[in-house]
Amino acid sequence: MHNLTIAELLAGLAQKRFSSEELTLHYLARIERLDAKFNSYITVTPELALEAARSADKARAQGNAGSLAGVPIAHKDIFCTNGVRTSCASKMLDNFVPPYDATVVTKLAQAGVVCLGKTNMDEFAMGSSNETSYYGPVKNPWAPDCVPGGSSGGSAAAIAAQLCAAATGTDTGGSIRQPAALCGLTGLKPTYGRVSRYGMIAFASSLDQGGPMTRSAHDAALLLNAMAGFDAKDSTSANRSVPDYTATLHDKLDGLRIGLPKEYFGKGLSAAIEKAVHAAIAELEKLGATVKEISLPNTELAVPCYYVIAPAEASANLSRFDGVRYGYRCENPSDLFDLYTRTRAEGFGDEVKRRILIGTYVLSAGYYDAYYRKAQQVRRLIKQDFVAAFNDVDVIAGPTTPNPTFCVGEISDPVAMYLEDIYTIAVNLAGLPALSIPAGRVDNKPIGLQLIGNYFAEDKLLNVAHQFQQATDWHRRTAPGIE
């Protein structure tokens, strides 16, 4: 059963080949038996999962089942879940149990999913390798001595190890697409505002966006149908109707115009990944697409721009974790100042502290104009590059990452780690939708093809990805040794 896609699971449930309770028990047994090797889950919730599975079976028997009734998934541990620890992989929130659900959790529950538990991640979503988690690094099922990518690495590893049928993730600078690429999955970052951020613990509020992580584009469309939509609780939510993302999956690609940014195929890109990406583009051409070179001239400014804006917003968002209202509190503080300083020093990890310090610095008097304001001006230029490009092309394609996965502990320099997101960060700065799909192997490690779309063009991206996956089988391949 764990080899089946969501679409196949839904067919099996409808045909009564198995029940949701049987399916859930199967996945729970796999998690208990296998996850010690990968560390993909922080919290597993067997009682709640079985309760939800029985409810899904009952609803299906009564003929009023939701669109995803009975499908076992996992939530990244950044989404608040009522009555279940939500830690953001930080000591600071190790004891935090929310009294409410994030909107994404609510919407998927209404669709009938079964939540198996909460997945590991980089602390407060700050990282590109899932090595900054308070609960230890996650291992990549394709190469257990290597990282799965981050920050949604636990979700990616859980799917790749077939410990859930799909999972939610969040993407601030590539944190859905990068781990999807490194673990051989389909990962979709929707347009900013398409999926509610209510109840999603904030890292950088103008960049964060939740999305689905799945094995196929068809599965991603099924999940996005349930996740997307306006939410009055989120002031940044887009008040737009939501199409059926499965309706256009089978559209032909005849006449599709694909742009290849010359800046994405230069220095720093692995030669093997470049070759694999060009082979994937050739497949799309066989399906009727046309290809032209384009330019995104401000691409090289994306990383420095991001690492001013994101830490600045993180500095503001994480100021709430002070030991007073909830979360970790230091022992026996001598006064309020001691409470604040020791709680934050003891509760946050090194990468989170680094970004808070950077963010506080660039927002400080005398430096705001030189750094933060300037970064916002550069952000506008990056957005304008994309707007101009979409006057000539329908989709932009390129590599998701410059390199395949790397060994745990291999990259210790923070700047070198930040550069692993070189091709994904600009999308978040512009607020565009993008996805990564499996497109080959380098040394038997998965690599991804990134497709970037115009605003609210998730249906077009999913259509292109689905057509590619009908012509190739990269998304069907499983990590070696996975039973």
Active site residue 76: yes
Residue identified by tokens 């953001």 is: 88
The Cα 448–Cα 189 span in angstroms is 14
The Cα 274–Cα 268 span in angstroms is 10
Residue whose C-alpha is closest to residue 86's, from 109, 118, 115 = 118
The Cα 61–Cα 66 span in angstroms is 12
**Residue 124: left (phi > 0), alpha (psi -120 to 50), or beta?**
left
CA dihedral 290, 451, 383, 309 (to 10 degrees): -160
The Cα 277–Cα 400 span in angstroms is 9
Cβ density class 313-336: b for 16+ within 10 Å, e for less: bbbbbbeebbbeeebbbbeeeeee
Q: How far is CA 291 from CA 258, 298, 300, 387, in A?
A: 5, 21, 23, 18
CA Rg, the chain, in Å?
A: 21
3-state helix, strand and coil shares in percent for the chain, rounded to the nearest 5: 40, 15, 45
Contact between 321 and 347 under an 8 Å Cβ cutoff? The reply is yes
Contact between 188 and 153 under an 8 Å Cβ cutoff? The reply is no
From 55, 87, 151, 155, the catalytic residue:
151
CB atoms within 10 A of CB 142: 25
From 40, 90, 175, 216, the catalytic residue:
175
Query: For 21, which DSSP code?
Result: H
Residue whose C-alpha is closest to residue 129's, from 183, 166, 86 = 183
Q: How far is CA 211 from CA 98, 124, 178, 249, 417, in A?
A: 21, 17, 13, 18, 23
Tally of residues, the chain:
483
Q: How far is CA 37 from CA 137, 262, 361, in A?
A: 11, 40, 40
Cβ neighbors of 342 (< 8 A, separation 6 or more) are 330, 333
- List 47's β-bridge partners, or say none: none
From 76, 107, 118, 139, the catalytic residue:
76
Cβ neighbors of 366 (< 8 A, separation 6 or more) are none
Residue identified by tokens 């006057």 is: 391
**Catalytic center residues:** 76, 151, 175
